[in-house]
């Protein structure tokens, strides 16, 4: 029984520590780093060469989701050649900053 309680407490402590890591993004720095993103993700009625794929607007999206998506593109775990190329040179801090910017941006 003590092992179960310790395991639950350890998992809870790790979860709290992981949540605080998301607060590290700097929205102002992210605004500057997101300049290339704005051409597609902030343009109204953007058309894509792939008619079955719509470019999503990311303003107001949760920072955690945006950071996870960018990291997955960067690491090749999420398929999209353009996004993979754009994310390839981003550091973890760059990604957190960009996610902070877009999560606080108005639609």
**What pLDDT score was predicted for residue 106?**
76
Of 70, 55, 77, nearest to 101 by C-alpha is 70
102: number of CA atoms within 13 Å, CB side?
A: 26
pLDDT tens digit sequence for 8-55: 545 555 555 544 444 589 999 999 999 999 888 887 766 666 666 678
Q: What is the CATH number of the domain that holds 47?
A: 1.10.760.10
**What pLDDT score was predicted for residue 43?**
75
**Considering its fold, how many domains does the chain have in total?**
1
Is 66 in contact with 105 (CB distance < 8 Å)? Answer: no
46 within some domain? yes
77 within some domain? yes
74 within some domain? yes
Domain of 67 in residue numbering reads as: 25-104
**What pLDDT score was predicted for residue 81?**
93
pLDDT tens digit sequence for 56-98: 889 999 999 999 999 999 999 999 999 999 999 999 999 999 9
93 within some domain? yes
6 within some domain? no
């Amino acid at each position: 029984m003590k092992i179960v309680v310790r395991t639950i407490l350890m998992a809870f402590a790790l979860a709290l520590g992981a949540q605080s890591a998301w607060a590290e993004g700097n929205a102002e720095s992210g605004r500057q780093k997101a300049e290339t993103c704005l051409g597609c993700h902030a343009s109204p009625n953007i058309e894509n060469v792939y008619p079955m794929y719509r470019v999503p607007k990311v303003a107001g999206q949760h920072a955690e989701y945006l950071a996870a998506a960018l990291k997955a593109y960067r690491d090749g775990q999420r398929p999209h050649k353009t996004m993979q190329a754009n994310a390839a040179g981003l550091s973890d801090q760059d990604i957190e900053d960009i996610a902070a910017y877009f999560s606080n941006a108005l639609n």
